[in-house]
């Protein structure tokens, strides 16, 4: 009986670690990790303030959550929906407020980040 409990406890531990590694867990903590990792580069490359960067990252993080739900759509539907989401992102950026040049710099930053992540995946790296 003790062995069964030990095996069960071990299984739960491995399962919970795996769930957290795959994005499970606290969304607030996930956003904070994203901020910690991205904010210094974002501020340096786009020349926006720390406060603006915080808002940009929150907007981008929430949009990424919306985009995850698009995986099951057809290519055309996904492209249409992503364009709508991007339009909404740009409107939210305007409300920070960011200038058109700053919005372009921020979008370029995230496009470059996305390309780098895709390249890492293709090369077999996990980015960790």
Angle at 89 between CA 57 and CA 50, to 5 degrees: 30
CB 30 within 8 A of CB 49: no
pLDDT digits (tens, 9 = 90+) for 10-45: 554 554 555 555 555 788 999 999 999 999 999 999
Q: How confident is the model at residue 68 (pLDDT cuts 50, 70, 90)?
A: confident
Q: How confident is the model at residue 97 (pLDDT cuts 50, 70, 90)?
A: very high
Tell me the C-alpha distance between 52 and 75, whole Å: 33
With a pLDDT cut of 70, the percent of the chain lying above it is 78
Tell me the C-alpha distance between 118 and 30, whole Å: 20
- Domain ranges in the chain are 28-120
- The residues, ordered by sequence, that sit 6+ positions from 19 with a Cβ below 8 Å of its Cβ are 25
Alpha-carbon distances of 30 from 20, 26, 43, rounded to whole Å: 10, 6, 20
């Amino acid at each position: 009986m003790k062995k069964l409990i030990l095996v069960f406890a071990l299984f739960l531990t491995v399962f919970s670690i795996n769930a957290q590694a795959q994005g499970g867990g606290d969304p607030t903590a996930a956003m904070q990790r994203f901020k910690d990792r991205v904010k210094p580069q974002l501020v340096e490359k786009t020349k926006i303030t720390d406060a603006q960067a915080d808002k940009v990252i929150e907007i981008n993080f929430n949009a990424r959550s919306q985009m995850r739900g698009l995986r099951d759509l057809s290519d055309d539907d996904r492209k249409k929906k992503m364009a709508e989401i991007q339009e909404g992102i740009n409107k939210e950026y305007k409300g920070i407020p960011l200038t058109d040049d700053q919005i372009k710099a921020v979008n370029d930053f995230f496009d470059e980040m996305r390309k780098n992540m895709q390249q890492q995946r293709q090369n077999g790296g996990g980015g960790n």
